[in-house]
Amino acid sequence: MARVRRPGTSWWVGAVGLVGLCVAAEVQPAYSQQSVSVRAALVKGTLPADDPTAAAWATAAVSEFPMSPQVHWPVRITDVTAKSVKVRGLHDGTTVAILLEYSDPSEDPDDAAALEFMVGDTKAHFAHGQPMAQVEGGPVNIWYWKNKDGKGADLGAKGFGTLKPHAHQDVKAKGVYQGGVWKVVFSRPLSTEHVADDTQFKPGTFASIAFAVWDGKKMETGLPKEKGSEKAISSWWYFRADAPPDYSPYMYALLAVALALGFELVLVRRLKKGS
């Protein structure tokens, strides 16, 4: 028996399907956006907080940021080894881990890397939170790792010459050098008790983050190629620890669809009665 089709049914079904695809595409997480932020996804199970080579890192979205030689304040440098850094983040709801990955032709004891964050809601200049003329700046929180130390350091600064370790050391770090690439993982609890010194990560909220890398290769002078303010830097980008999945927007959308359908039914019925 031949199927009886209402005229025009097939194309409007196709059109609705197309709209459905568009909606689905819109709902996809925007992980592929150009790197202006680092997104730390929420993971279940063990966080690779002390293993820069853990397989779990392959599942984390990667962002890449260009690096500049530090020319903002003296002592300057004009050529740096790290031209960019790749950054990944993961968290388990309690601890956040951030993996920094960059090329370096040689492993040296003075190789070092750092992450920098603003503290609280006060804006701070990316260059060690230096004072600004018309804006009251805040402190910065710096997470520092140096190869020969083999551990992380939790530092604070509010202007040049004020960099010093916090009395409380909450940051851990571990670096692994493989095939001309440093992989350094930093970790810390999402929140600490030291709100005046430490950046606090609230899942779902964007924080400011900046990067620094030192190539510690020993030069003929006996000094490292990059040291102190002679380093590769970035200015501020964004970091976010993802919030747990929130399905309420889908519920609201379904409710809205139901209400709109109900409105249509009532309207058409009343119009038909009226006519």
Partner 1 sequence: MGGVLVRPIILTVFIYLFLKFIVPNLPHSAPLPSSLIFLYLMLTTAGIVIFATLSGASKDAFFGPIFRFLTGESGGALSSARYLVLALFPLLVGWQTYGSTASSDAPPGENRTIHPAPPGEYTGLSNPVPKTLDNINYGKGLYASRCSPCHGNFDGKGFAAAGFTPPPANFKDPTTIAMLQESYLFWRIKKGGVGLPVEGMPWKTAMPRWELEMSDEDIWKVIMGEYDGAGQKPRTWDESE
Site for partner 1 in 80-139 (CB under 8 A): 83-84, 118, 123-127, 130-135, 137
Query: Could you say which residues in the range 170-189 bind partner 1, by CB under 8 A?
Result: none
CB of 88 to partner 1, least distance (A): 16
CA 119, 141, 85 angle in degrees (round to 5)? 115
| Both structure tokens of 143 | 């997470």
Q: Is 34 in the site for partner 1 (CB under 8 A)?
A: no
The residue within the footprint of partner 1, chosen from 21, 181, 223, 260 (CB under 8 A), is: 260
Question: What does the alpha-carbon distance between residue 137 and residue 146 come to, in Å, rounded to a whole number?
Answer: 28
* Phi and psi, residue 208, nearest 5°: -90, 140
CB of 222 to partner 1, least distance (A): 26
CB of 213 to partner 1, least distance (A): 10
The residue within the footprint of partner 1, chosen from 21, 36, 195, 219 (CB under 8 A), is: 36
Segment interacting with partner 1 (CB under 8 A) among 49-57, 62-70, 106-114, 221-229: 62-70
| Both structure tokens of 46 | 């063990």
Pick between residue 97 and residue 212 the one whose CB is nearest to partner 1: 212
Residues contacting 138, CB < 8 A, separation 6+: 118, 119, 120, 122, 123, 124, 129, 158
Work out the burial of residue 142: count CB atoms within 10 Å of its CB; fewer than 13 is exposed, 13-18 middle, 19 or more buried.
Answer: buried
Give the torsion through C-alpha atoms of 241, 242, 244, 250, to 10 deg.
160
Write the single-letter amino acid at 185: V
Q: Are strands 232-233 and 206-214 parallel, antiparallel or unpaired?
A: antiparallel
The residue within the footprint of partner 1, chosen from 21, 59, 73, 181 (CB under 8 A), is: 73
Pick between residue 49 and residue 140 the one whose CB is nearest to partner 1: 140
Give the count of residues interacting with partner 1 (CB under 8 A). 76
| Both structure tokens of 2 | 């031949």
CB of 97 to partner 1, least distance (A): 20
Segment interacting with partner 1 (CB under 8 A) among 2-10, 99-107, 171-179, 219-227: 2-10
Query: Could you say which residues in the range 197-236 bind partner 1, by CB under 8 A?
Result: 204, 206, 232-236
- Nearest residue to 235 (alpha-carbon basis) of 159, 128, 90: 128
CB of 3 to partner 1, least distance (A): 17
Q: Is 16 in the site for partner 1 (CB under 8 A)?
A: yes
Q: Is 256 in the site for partner 1 (CB under 8 A)?
A: yes
